[in-house]
Amino acid sequence: MSAALRYLNQRYTIPDKVVGLLNDIGTEEFAHLEMIATMIYKLTKDATPEQMREAGLGDHFVDHGPSLFYHNAAGVPWTAAYIQSKGDPIADLYEDIAAEEKARATYQWLIEITDDVDIQDSLKFLREREVVHSIRFREAVEILKEYNDSKKFY
């Protein structure tokens, strides 16, 4: 959710040369959120309170029942503070690259802690999309650097 909102907010202060990239990747990140939420829901929908407790989700169950609630693995709730945007296109794109690389690493660690092949396959797909996003943001940095260095005629 953070990535989707970050990219869709940053597009307002980024040059037209790469605004479409932020729009496209931001929209795709909402699809990633949908996939993760669906996986979590399907994995927990029939769990008993005892199973939730045994899985380390007792506190979540007490506060939210079987409902999804966005928080990290340590239980820290999602907050808008997770959306990084400086208003400087190059700084924002480097932040975006870092966010994609962190997401790639997280997906890898999730793959390593599950033995569910179907979950692993879904996570591998998501991990590879983060790699593509990182590459595209790196390309956008170079496009903007070249644009900033070019002579402007008015």
What are the beta bridge partners of residue 71? Answer: 77
CATH of the domain at 29: 1.20.1260.10
User: Does residue 99 sit within a domain?
Assistant: yes
pLDDT digits (tens, 9 = 90+) for 81-102: 888 889 999 999 999 999 999 9
Give φ, ψ of 92 to 5 degrees.
-65, -40
pTM: 0.89
* Residue in this structure with the two tokens 């190059």, named with its chain if needed: 90
pLDDT > 90? residue 145: yes
Q: What is the mean pLDDT of the chain?
A: 94
**What span, in angstroms and rounded, lies between the C-alpha atoms of 85 and 88?**
8
pLDDT > 80? residue 150: no
Number of domain units in the chain? 1
pLDDT number for residue 148: 84
Instruction: Give a three-class secondary structure readout of 82-115.
Output: HCCCCCCHHHHHHHHHHHHHHHHHHHHHHHHHCC
The mean pLDDT value for 57-61 works out to 91
Residue 8 Cα to chain centre, angstroms: 12
Q: For the stretch 101-126, what's the b/e string if a residue is b when 16 or more beta carbons lie within 10 angstroms of its beta carbon?
A: eebbebbeebbeeeeeeeeeebbeeb
User: Does residue 20 sit within a domain?
Assistant: yes
The mean pLDDT value for 15-28 works out to 95
Are 65 and 96 in contact by the 8 Å Cβ rule? The answer is no
The mean pLDDT value for 33-40 works out to 96
**What span, in angstroms and rounded, lies between the C-alpha atoms of 1 and 36?**
11
User: Does residue 96 sit within a domain?
Assistant: yes
Range of the domain at 80: 2-149
Amino acid identity at 28: E
User: Does residue 154 sit within a domain?
Assistant: no
pLDDT > 80? residue 119: yes
pLDDT > 90? residue 129: yes
